[in-house]
Structure 1
Amino acid sequence: MIYRFLFPLKPDSTGASLFLLALRIFFGVLLMSHGIQKWSNFQEMSATFPDPLGVGSPLSLGLAIFGEMVCSMGFIIGLLYRLAMLPMIFTMGMAFFVIHGNDPFSVKELALVYLVVFILMYISGPGKFSVDYVLGKELRRRKKE
């Protein structure tokens, strides 16, 4: 029994999928809280929000809110998982490398943590407990018919 714990054979096991689900919920809700904070303070923040893309502060703030709120919802439930993660990864990359690029590490550390977690989660996929898994299974079943 202990050998299964020490030497798992299937990375797509139920245990691994439950772990991925827990990570999706935990980090998705955390990132969503940042988006909710930005959304609730949109008026105040829109005039001073950093504009690294040159599209204007209000639009940059809107894009950050989209990445942090809407995409987090897709990330949590595993719907269009990898597509939803691209804006999340981009937002954290911009926060770490551009917005806080010259700040002390302690200021930009949280963005790096999110960035690394999201890149690793992008690579690993959503696991079995996701909408994408259910949809993919159904599409493969229909293709065989």
Structure 2
Amino acid sequence: MLKRFLFPTNPNGVFISVILLVVRIVFGILMMNHGIDKWANYQELSTVFPDPLGIGSPLSLGLAIFGELACSMAFIIGFLYRLAMIPMIFTMCVAFFIVHGNDPFAVKELAFVYLVVFVLMYIIGPGKFAVDRWISQSLSRK
């Protein structure tokens, strides 16, 4: 058991898929909390939210909420996984490089952590326990 844990030979195995599922759940819920907070305070935030893309504060806030809330839900269950991750990665890129671009690293560290995790999860994929896998399997049977 310890040997298999330390030196996994099957990267597509159940154990790795369980770890990927746990990462999706943990980081998805953490990101959702940011989106829920923005959504709950939309009225107050819509006038002061940063507008790094020049599209207006309300629309910038709406896109951030979409990336942090709606896409996090899809990320957690593994539905349209890589497509859902694009807004999440984009939102963290904007937060890290533009909104907090000149801030000390301690201020933008959280955006960086999310960005690294999301990029790695994008590359690795959702694992076996994802809605996309079940859809793919049912489509391949037909």
Residue 139 of structure 1, CA deviation: 1.3
The worse-fitting range, judged by mean Cα deviation, of 4-13 and 69-78 is 4-13
The residue number in structure 2 matching 1:31 is 31
Residue 62 of structure 1, CA deviation: 0.2
The residue number in structure 2 matching 1:116 is 116
Q: Compute the TM-score of the two structures, normalised by the length of structure 2.
A: 0.97
**Alignment: residue pair count:** 142
Instruction: Give the match's secondary structure for 1:62.
Output: helix
Gaps of 5+ in 1: none
What is the Cα-based RMSD across aligned positions, in Å?
Answer: 0.8
**Pairs within 5 Å for 1:1-145:** 1-142=1-142
Partner amino acid, structure 1, of 2:23: L
Gaps of 5+ in 2: none
Residue 8 of structure 1, CA deviation: 1.5
Partner amino acid, structure 2, of 1:135: I
> Which whole-Å CA distance do the structure 2 matches of 1:32 and 1:65 have between them?
9
Residue 120 of structure 1, CA deviation: 0.2
Instruction: Give the match's secondary structure for 2:103.
Output: coil
Instruction: Give the match's secondary structure for 1:68.
Output: helix
Partner amino acid, structure 1, of 2:46: S
Alignment identity in percent?
68
> Which whole-Å CA distance do the structure 2 matches of 1:2 and 1:27 have between them?
26
Segments ≥4 residues shifted beyond 4 Å: none
